[in-house]
């Protein structure tokens, strides 16, 4: 299945395709585009969807527009994004998803993933589980603190490597929005061509 993804920034661009491919092994290499931040995403994502449609070589089956909710009601954000499409139509379905709070929440949910990436990168520094109310407060600073303890930098490649190591079940248990994300990815049906 061919997926187009429009996200806020570089860390999202590295992470979401890795997560999607872990959730479904029939997803090829997603076409991912970043908008330069959450404030630019709303105005920019229709352009990227048109780009996905213009290039028939990609044969996009479904497109995802993903944004952090910053701990606001995600349904309202998804609806605002949906409205921004106006009457635009595409040859593929467009899904909108607002991550509860921020992506870093999901990456904090399994400290073993951070430890594994530290080990793989030759740092061998370990972090303890965080005492944190998952999906009730922003996690970016806490995530960066955990990375620092593991002697890792908060760069897109590290985000992606952690995403490839997280325990999907543990993350879904701690983060209901991740569970919803997994359900939506698994429910996708490829277009008949």
Query: What pTM did the predictor assign?
Result: 0.94
Chain-centroid distance of CA 8 in Å reads 10
Residue-wise burial string across 109-136, b where 16 or more C-beta atoms lie within 10 A, e elsewhere: bbbebbbbbbeebeeeeebeeeebebbe
Q: Per DSSP, what are the bridge partners of residue 191?
A: none
- H or E stretch including 32? strand 31-34
Return the half-sphere exposure (C-beta side, CA atoms, 13 A cut-off) of residue 172. 11
> What pLDDT digit, counting tens, does each position of 88-124 carry?
889 899 999 999 999 999 999 999 999 999 999 999 8
Domain range annotation of the chain: 3-101+176-186, 104-171
pLDDT of residue 193: 57
Cα 82 from Cα 102, distance rounded (Å)? 20
User: Tens digits of per-residue pLDDT, 44-74?
Assistant: 999 999 999 999 889 999 999 999 999 999 9
Total H helices, total E strands in the chain: 9, 4
CATH of region 3-101+176-186:
3.40.50
Mean pLDDT of 18-33: 95
Q: How far is CA 97 from CA 52, 128, 144, 152, 154, in A?
A: 18, 30, 24, 28, 23
């Amino acid at each position: 299945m061919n997926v187009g993804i429009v996200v806020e920034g570089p860390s999202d661009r590295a992470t979401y395709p890795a997560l999607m491919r872990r959730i479904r092994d029939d997803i090829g290499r997603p076409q991912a585009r970043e908008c330069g931040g959450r404030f630019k995403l709303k105005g920019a994502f229709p352009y990227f969807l048109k780009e996905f449609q213009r290039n028939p070589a990609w044969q996009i089956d479904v497109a995802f527009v993903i944004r952090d909710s910053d701990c606001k009601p995600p349904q309202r954000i998804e609806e605002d994004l949906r409205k921004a499409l106006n009457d635009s139509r595409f040859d593929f379905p467009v899904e909108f998803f607002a991550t509860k709070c921020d992506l870093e929440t999901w990456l904090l949910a399994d400290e073993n993933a951070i430890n594994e990436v530290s080990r793989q990168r030759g740092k061998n520094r370990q972090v303890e589980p965080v005492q944190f109310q998952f999906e009730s407060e922003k996690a970016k600073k806490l995530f960066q603190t955990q990375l620092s303890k593991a002697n890792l930098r908060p760069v897109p490649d590290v985000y992606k490597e952690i995403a490839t190591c997280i325990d999907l079940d543990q993350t879904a248990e701690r983060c209901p929005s991740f569970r919803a994300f997994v359900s939506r990815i698994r429910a996708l049906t490829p277009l008949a061509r």
